[in-house]
Amino acid sequence: MPDITREYIALRDQYIENCFRHLNPVQREAVFTTEGPLLILAGAGSGKTTVLVNRIANIIRFGAAHGSRELTRAVTEQDLEELRTAVQTGRDLPREAAYLAVRPARPWNVLAITFTNKAAGELKERLRAMLAFLHENYARPIQLCEVARAANISPRECLRCFQRAIQTPPMQYLLKYRVQRGAEFLRERPGTVAQAAAACGFDSPSNFSKNFRRFYGVSPREYRRQV
């Protein structure tokens, strides 16, 4: 394995570990176990729900990247330098999904989150209602107050629910969902980039292209040629 690739993989692991540094070592071990079933045995209040939520966040955000030697693209010196800087400064890496993720799960493919108490059950129902609203209405303009209204809560409580459950603000989740549906459009339908943008709720093709490149590292046209 070339030295540049070896260093990149080591830095990728470090970057992902930094994203979950608020967890203890045993919790992180569970979070980074992304393949196959996982049994967690622990007492009440020990953080089982925390592990579950963070494991899902890791699978959506990074997929199977941690501890893997798999790469989705050839590593360049610029890639290595940007990742090195992100690790050293503690800042988020631009175009994180395109750089680091290895077979990440689509958010809408996560079928259920199990909670054991009434308060967590309410969070689950609220999140389910808000995600359903976003998935059904992503093709049109959406405001935060509409997302909150889907669960009969305030915008502030809406933000809290998303942060607690999936560690992503609702409008950021919506943006990523729109981009992913745009990628699906480009793979499976013959329409233009402008048609893909309109179908996925973007106000212009340029805005769609900018955000698509942010998540996938290539333009929509380049992505279509690759797939």
Summarize pLDDT for 69-108 with one digit per residue, the tens.
Answer: 988 888 888 888 888 888 888 888 777 666 788 888 888 7
Would you say residue 185 has pLDDT above 90?
A: yes
pLDDT score, position 92: 81
pLDDT score, position 146: 96
Q: Is the dihedral of CA 58, 114, 124, 49 positive or negative?
A: negative
Mean pLDDT (whole number) for 25-48: 82
pLDDT score, position 114: 58
pLDDT score, position 75: 85
pLDDT, the chain, mean:
87
As a whole-number percent, the residues of the chain with pLDDT over 90 amount to: 43
Would you say residue 113 has pLDDT above 80?
A: no
Domain borders along the chain are: 3-105, 117-227
| Helices 3-19 & 77-89 angle (0-180, nearest 10) | 30
141-146 contacts, C-beta under 8 A, 24 or more apart: 141/201, 141/203, 142/171, 142/174, 142/201, 144/170, 144/171
Q: Is the CATH code 1.10.1530.10 the one for domain 117-227?
A: no
